[in-house]
């Protein structure tokens, strides 16, 4: 992944010659911080929406730069190493946030599995419904679905299907009549 700065050549030229395996002076760190703080903070803000967390992550990036500056190798571009630390720190933050989501105790978990009887009843009702709508045309099924399940108005259905409102109402009426012949006690769903 490549990161773009407003003036990357200036930053790379000034910071590409940081000697490895030596103690970093406070002046050198201050120079690095002042040069990279704003671009790193803006990058973190683009990935993390919370302002306070973005500032904390940016601070963590520079703490890591200070603590692990000896792992920087001569001959490598310093800014690449710094951006990699920023990217990895953001990844660590997001991973921690995902894994530290509120833990739910076993007592709070609601069982979503159906018991055997309700599963069989559901399957029977579904099979009956599919058998009942089988004689409908494809457009009648779509109108029925959009009207009954998605609760769209005739106007919304006509826009979605590219038909006139009159055509949609006719399809709904014909589907209703056909369903009432299949199952006379069926309450109209639309």
- Cα 56 from Cα 59, distance rounded (Å): 5
Report the pLDDT value the prediction gives residue 18, as an integer from 0 to 100.
Answer: 47
Q: Mind listing the pLDDT tens digit for each residue in 29-74?
A: 888 888 899 999 999 988 888 889 999 999 999 898 888 877 777 7
Question: In this structure, what token pair is assigned to residue 115?
Answer: 């018991």
Average pLDDT score over the chain: 76
Question: In this structure, what token pair is assigned to residue 137?
Answer: 């045309």
Among 92, 93, 83, smallest CA distance to 49 is for 93
pTM for the model stands at 0.43
Q: Mind listing the pLDDT tens digit for each residue in 110-153?
A: 555 567 777 778 788 878 777 888 888 899 988 888 887 788 89
- Cα 71 from Cα 61, distance rounded (Å): 14
What is the phi-psi region of residue 151: left when phi exceeds 0, alpha when psi lies from -120 to 50, beta otherwise? left
Question: In this structure, what token pair is assigned to residue 35?
Answer: 């040069």
Domains and CATH numbers, the chain: 8-99 (1.10.1740.10), 132-182 (1.10.10.10)
Residue 47 is given by DSSP the state: H
Under the banding of pLDDT at 50, 70 and 90, the label for residue 100 is low
- Cα 59 from Cα 85, distance rounded (Å): 12
Distance of CA 75 to the CA centre of its chain: 39
First-to-last C-alpha distance (Å) of the chain: 53
- Cα 82 from Cα 62, distance rounded (Å): 9
What are the angstrom distances between the C-alpha of 68 and each of 22, 39, 65?
11, 20, 5
């Amino acid at each position: 992944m490549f990161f773009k700065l407003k003036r990357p050549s200036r930053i790379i030229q000034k910071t590409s010659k940081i000697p490895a395996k030596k103690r970093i002076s406070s002046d050198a760190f201050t120079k690095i911080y002042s040069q990279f703080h704003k671009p790193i903070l803006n990058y973190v803000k683009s990935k993390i929406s919370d302002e306070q967390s973005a500032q904390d992550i940016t601070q963590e990036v520079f703490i890591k730069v200070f603590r692990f500056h000896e792992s920087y190798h001569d001959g490598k571009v310093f800014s690449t190493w710094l951006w990699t630390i920023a990217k990895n720190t953001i990844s660590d933050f997001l991973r921690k946030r995902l894994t530290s989501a509120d833990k739910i105790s076993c007592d709070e978990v609601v069982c979503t599995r159906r018991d055997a009887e309700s599963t069989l009843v559901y399957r029977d009702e579904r099979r009956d419904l599919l058998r009942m709508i089988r004689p409908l045309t494809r457009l009648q099924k779509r109108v029925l679905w959009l009207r009954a399940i998605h609760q769209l108005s005739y106007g919304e259905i006509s826009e979605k299907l590219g038909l006139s409102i009159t055509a949609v109402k006719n399809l709904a009426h014909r589907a209703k009549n056909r369903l009432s012949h299949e199952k006379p006690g069926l309450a109209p769903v639309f």
